[in-house]
Amino acid sequence: MKRVLTSTRNFLLQTKLFWGLAVLYLVGVFSSPINRKGINIFLSPGNQSDVLRQVSNNGIIAVGMTLVILTGGIDLSVGSMMALGSVVCAMLLTQQGWTNASFLAIPVLALVTFFLSAYLVPLIAINAVRGSARPMEKANPSVRWCGIIFGAILAILSVWWTVGQLGTKFGVLGVLVAVPAVGLVFGALNGLFITKGKMQPFIVTLAMMVAILGIARLLGGSNMAVHPVYTGTNATENFDILRALVFQIIPVPGIFFIFAVLVFGFVLKVSTFGRYIYAIGGNEQAARLAGIRVDQLKIAVYAISGMLACTAGVLYTAQYRQGKPDAGAGAELDAIAAVVIGGTNLMGGRGSMIGTLVGVLIFGFLGNILQLRNIDSNTQLVLKGGIILAAVLLQEGQLGVRWKQIRSYFKVIDSGQEAGAKSRQVEEASK
Amino acid sequence: MNRRNFIKATVVAAAASTVFKPFYIRAQSKKYRFGFSQVTTVEPWRVQFNKDMIKEAGKHPELELIITDGQDKTEKQVADVENLIQQGVDILLVSPKESAGLTGVVLKAIDAKIPVIILDRNVETDKYTQFIGGDNVLIGREAGKYAVELLGGAGSAKGNLVELWGGMGTQPAHDRHDGFMESVGKETGIKSLLQPMDCDWKQQKAYEVMSTALKSFDHIDLVYGHNDPEAYGAYLAAKDAGREKEMKILGIDALPDEGVTWVSKGQLTATFLYATPGAEGVRQGLKIVNGETVEKKITLPTLRIDKTNAEQILKENGLA
């Protein structure tokens, strides 16, 4: 019997995050106002769909942030990166010919195509031959050359394809490929500074946050605060697909978010790459000594974070019909908060992607519930801060210990008072 | 009852009251619900906007007004409007942060068959029910006419003019200039002393520009600030130079606790109202729910506020 109890308790402790979300959801259901048709507004499909759309940008950024934080780093540049993505995306969609945005995006896309295929081809070749290769293992020269030639061909093809689009402005596929490539390069730059320059991730990404904001403003031109995108008039109609509702209910940005969670959750769980990320976060020195190429892995992780942030930028442009250099102000903090609520340790090495999904949803549902109840916006801020603190406290996993400490504290006071009372009695008696 | 149980009981009671409070608040339901999505609540003009709206809504007991705060973020404001749509408000009032950013969600509200009133800044569609906003050219024109009157009347006006520009990258600054110049520009006797000087709507910058102007020019007859804080900055500079008596100072906006107060103290000569569309929005919304047809566009009139009516306006706003 006792064993059953302990195992139940352990199960509950392990899944406490989900219970938190479930409790919040129930609060939402019970506190939601009912509309005139007698439908619970919180539960209405329209509202659930809105929440999924509202969290998707933050969610996509948080996925990349989870990887970075798992290695023990932090990426503060993602907000600016998202804004840069939105500006580049809006300019590619609305302006023909060679503009600042296409000058940046086309060479960068070619570069990324070249490096990715020059790296991936040998990797696939080794895997095909030997079954399981470590991702950083060196290929023999012939396979390597194969990859480089293949990469060069693909890069030329990508230039040919994108330059071909310049005459008619970019379409949806063009921006979905080119803009994340920009993020990938800036993210890799973050990683290079951190690993090769041996600098703190906090400082490097803080500097990049400021610099990229400037780049986004320069790119957009100083007399354009906002780049509006109106599909059908100044951009192609097919861009509408990125803000469409599948089956009238599932927002496309939400699908991107869920897809990112699944892909990178899978990568973390099963791939060597994922295992190494945990290893680096757990003990970087040990990982290095064990032969893991820490620097390469870290660069890859920051690059992925940048890529996801710029993808979020494309979705921002789609949802809000504009590209804006200050679109991402504060986005990095929302993403970090969601990751931490999801139980990922800021020191690295501990956490999961599913936790981040839950963290993002908790944040989204909380905002939705408070707004449906029309709670004052300043009170909302206070409550959000409170929820972050409470969630992190729960994540600490030492609640039992803390509780005992508090109890023993009260016991000390109690016994102290009793002792005091007794001694007073003794004193009085002796008089 | 020992202390531990007491603490436990308190915690449970607090938690329960937070969760279940909504149920009994909900009980008082009114006939109409208006939802208003505001951009931010930290700017003086926006604060006045909300005040006007709440005051007008208070006159109609059948009305429940929900105001959301976008915290100056497009994403937040879009989420707010989506929320108001889900709540099924009878009228949606939106004062957009940007035209492009809010267009999509306004269309969503229109699809949900909610009448939409756009306030102050327009969106990129004309399917909304109504637009209410001020007209900066009109306000500039009124200020210009009054300036000519102060300097000697049409045809014979004479004097040195200092114009303090608002943010030069913003449309309102250009509109306020163009309207002003329609009459002032015709008067050959009025001499504009400065090249266009960008004061970015700020009191401090206006103070700096004005101090320099006071050193360069012996006599200044009229100062025109594109908003009240600029005009007040000019007044402070003139006062510090001991020359505030020689000039008339005009401002724009006429917020009760800024421009109107300064006019009533005699620091500014006059200010021109850039009315918030708050009160008018509520009135028009009531017309719509009562089935009346409304105009597609309403331009709010301006009002000159000088020594004669400043006190009265302060009293109406509970400031005097």
Q: Is A245 left (phi over 0), alpha (psi -120 to 50) or beta?
A: beta
User: What is the rounded CA–CA span in Å between residue A146 and residue A135?
Assistant: 17
Please state the domain count of chain A. 1
Nearest to A185 by CA among A74, A304, A98: A304
* Record: contact A320-B4, CB cut-off 8 A: no
pLDDT at B24: 41
pLDDT at B138: 94
Chain A positions touching B66 (Cβ under 8 A) are 374
Q: Is residue A158 part of a domain?
A: no
Q: Is residue A229 part of a domain?
A: yes
* Residue A20 to chain B, least CA–CA distance (Å): 14
pLDDT in tens, B156-190: 899 999 999 988 777 888 899 999 999 999 999 99
Q: Is B289 on the interface with A (CB under 8 A)?
A: no
pLDDT beyond 50 at B22: no
B318 or B22, which is more confident:
B318
Q: Is residue A181 part of a domain?
A: yes
pLDDT at B10: 64
pLDDT in tens, B96-155: 988 888 999 999 999 999 999 999 988 888 899 999 999 999 999 999 999 999 999 888
User: CATH topology of B11-128 equal to that of B136-273?
Assistant: yes
Q: Any bridge partners for residue B273, and if so which?
A: B253
Class of domain B11-128: alpha beta
pLDDT at B3: 59
Residue A351: give the domain boundaries. Answer: 17-31+39-95+169-395
Average pLDDT over residues B292-313: 92
pLDDT at A418: 64
Nearest to A17 by CA among A400, A338, A404, A420: A338
Average pLDDT over residues B36-61: 91
* Residue A35 to chain B, least CA–CA distance (Å): 6
Q: Is it true that domain B136-273 has CATH number 3.40.50.2300? A: yes
Q: Is residue A431 part of a domain?
A: no
Q: Is residue A117 part of a domain?
A: no
pLDDT beyond 60 at B1: no
Q: Is B245 on the interface with A (CB under 8 A)?
A: no
- For chain B, which residues make up each domain, given as ranges? 11-128, 136-273
Q: What is the mean pLDDT of chain B?
A: 88
Q: Is residue A369 part of a domain?
A: yes
pLDDT at A431: 56
pLDDT at B26: 45
CATH number of the domain that A214 lies in?
1.10.3470
Contacting B with CB below 8 Å, chain A residues are: 27, 30-31, 33, 35-36, 41, 44, 46-47, 50, 54, 57, 223, 225-226, 228-230, 243, 319-322, 324, 327, 329-330, 367-368, 371-374, 376-378, 407, 410, 414
pLDDT at A101: 86
Q: Is residue A109 part of a domain?
A: no
Helix (H) or strand (E) holding A340: helix A331-341
From A322, A376, A410, residue closest to B98, measured CB to CB:
A322
* Record: contact A371-B83, CB cut-off 8 A: yes
Q: Are B39 and B77 in contact (CB under 8 A)?
A: yes
Residues in B 100-139 with any Cβ partner in A closer than 8 A: 100-101, 103-104, 124
pLDDT in tens, A348-398: 888 999 999 999 999 899 989 988 888 888 888 898 898 888 878 877 666
* Record: contact B19-A30, CB cut-off 8 A: yes
3-state secondary structure (DSSP) of residue A161: helix
B263 or A122, which is more confident:
B263
pLDDT at B55: 92
- pTM assigned to the model: 0.82
Q: Is residue A120 part of a domain?
A: no
Q: In which residue ranges of chain A is pLDDT below 70?
A: 1, 126-139, 222-224, 396-403, 412-431
One-character DSSP codes across chain B: --HHHHHHHHHHHHHHHHHHHHHHHTT---SEEEEEEES-SSSHHHHHHHHHHHHHHHT-TTEEEEEEE-TT-HHHHHHHHHHHHHHT-SEEEE--S-HHHHHHHHHHHHHTT--EEEESS--S-S-SSEEEEE-HHHHHHHHHHHHHHHTTSTTT--EEEEEEE--TTSHHHHHHHHHHHHHHTT-TTEEE-S--EE-TT-HHHHHHHHHHHHHH-S---EEEESSHHHHHHHHHHHHHTT-GGG-EEEEEE--IIIIIHHHHTTSSSEEEE---SHHHHHHHHHHHHTT----SEEEEP--EEEHHHHHHHHHHTT--
pLDDT at B143: 95
